[in-house]
Structure 1
């Protein structure tokens, strides 16, 4: 019997239309991911449900048309794709609670830092399709950098679904699980290094006579523009940096000061210690 032409495409479209997304935990990161899905038109608000123990975070979800509950099990009953967005120390208890409701039709995605796929698979029914996602704070403005790793029950379809949905929230890459702690040191914590650098740049301009608000805006736009050039040109940052330096000019004089202050080695050390700390936390 000949295959019905376009069947796969139609099925994929139907699945997207029928996709029901749940969030167990309704904090800042969960809200940021949900906003990304809504803004990109990936999932209608009526197909999103979030649970939290109190109403403190749920009001904003209701305002955007999502459904809310205080019952984690209800999220499992109403959703096929479930994001576990609780604090890491709360997650084992939550997994114990929802375990009876998890079925083969569910795709479970954990956002909890330091909770390994091995732990998730041990605490969920055998064969559960589980993935581990590590977002960063700019996901809340749809400019995040996220990596995810899949457990043994999750296949190419689940990975493709997650990547397709989360592309609306920023960069999303599948990686081996061992990269997740490095991503924490590079990007999860890394946004704070960038804020510190931006603050220092702006303060330098204030020292030279520019008003603080203007200096902060220009510093932020400078970082945004430099990052966009890195992503869009695909050039190595050293090449882009060299392009800015004219012989005997302002930039090379400034870079000499940064090198004297060991900026490069200090930032590498920061990524290293944050990664090690993430590894230690995963062992606890």
Structure 2
């Protein structure tokens, strides 16, 4: 198999790396034979169900055998990470680690910095990315194909926007789970049995997510539609609109984005 066709994943046994591998394999975009995984332990971990994967502890061997690298280790590991990958296409989903820093780590000028999420395992991630000047048209095509296999993807112009997407779409289910938990807790305070509350709110978020994904109406449009209907939901939405909840949500997202910049 040609080196250019192989993908080396650094940190592939971690939560995000293994989720991306699951998504890529499930999509049929790649096969286990085209993937090599760099793992400090040399153990497959969550990937044991894919026996065809090449698991190695040798970074030099990984870079020698693979033309594309995907870095999915925790951002703190960037401080000690060094890879001989000067002529490689390097993709990274490490939060906060800039393109310039990625070039220092790998020696490559063909660098793509991205942000994805564990939803990649289900093909439901949103993966925005920003390319360095050295990334070719062919590299862009390959990047789009790989990230498009695990969900939706967009090429961005502003690298700073990735820190915000780290907060907005990276921590799936994260902030959405927080809101669901608040609703579940409210239901329980009203005497609803915990199991019924949990089941109901899970179904609510499943249905809402699907409706917003498939409907052309924006989230704001859905809110306006419900308020204009002037029913029971309108009373609740209007109370929330009149509260400071929007500002508090914005503060939380800004804090997460600030942490991403600090980590990098």
Q: Which bin holds the TM-score, normalised by the shorter protein?
A: 0.7 to 0.9
Kindly indicate whether residue 209 of structure 2 is the aligned counterpart of residue 227 of structure 1.
yes
Aligned residue in 1 for 2:150 = 169
- Preserved CA contact (<8 Å) 1:205 1:215: yes
Kindly indicate whether residue 138 of structure 2 is the aligned counterpart of residue 157 of structure 1.
yes
1:52-131 equivalences under 5 Å are: 52-56=39-43, 58-64=44-50, 65-95=52-82, 98-99=83-84, 102-104=85-87, 106-125=88-107, 128-131=109-112
How many Å separate the matches in 2 of 1:185 and 1:91?
Answer: 20
Match of 1:34 among 2, 21, 30: 21
- Preserved CA contact (<8 Å) 1:121 1:130: yes
Q: Deviation above 6 Å: which 4+ runs of structure 1?
A: none
Partner-residue secondary structure (3-state), 2:263: helix
Structure number with greater CO (CA < 8 Å, separation at least 6) is 2
Aligned residue in 2 for 1:181 = 163
Runs of at least 5 residues in structure 2 that lack an aligned partner in the other structure: none
Aligned residue in 2 for 1:51 = 38
1:191-210 equivalences under 5 Å are: 191-210=173-192
Change (3 A) 1:214 1:172: farther
Structure 1 residue 189 displacement after superposition: 4.3
Mean CA deviation greater in 269-278 or 143-152: 269-278
Aligned residue in 1 for 2:6 = 20
Q: TM-score, normalised by structure 2?
A: 0.88
Partner-residue secondary structure (3-state), 1:94: coil
Structure 1 residue 129 displacement after superposition: 1.6
Runs of at least 5 residues in structure 1 that lack an aligned partner in the other structure: 1-13
Partner-residue secondary structure (3-state), 2:225: helix
Aligned residue in 2 for 1:239 = 221
How many Å separate the matches in 1 of 2:220 and 2:91?
Answer: 37
Q: TM-score, normalised by structure 1?
A: 0.82
Structure 1 residue 168 displacement after superposition: 2.3
Aligned residue in 1 for 2:262 = 280
RMSD in angstroms over aligned alpha carbons?
2.4
CA deviation string 1:29-58 (max 9, x = no partner): 1100000111011111111111111145x1
Which has the greater radius of gyration? 1
The count of residues paired between Structure 1 and Structure 2 equals 261
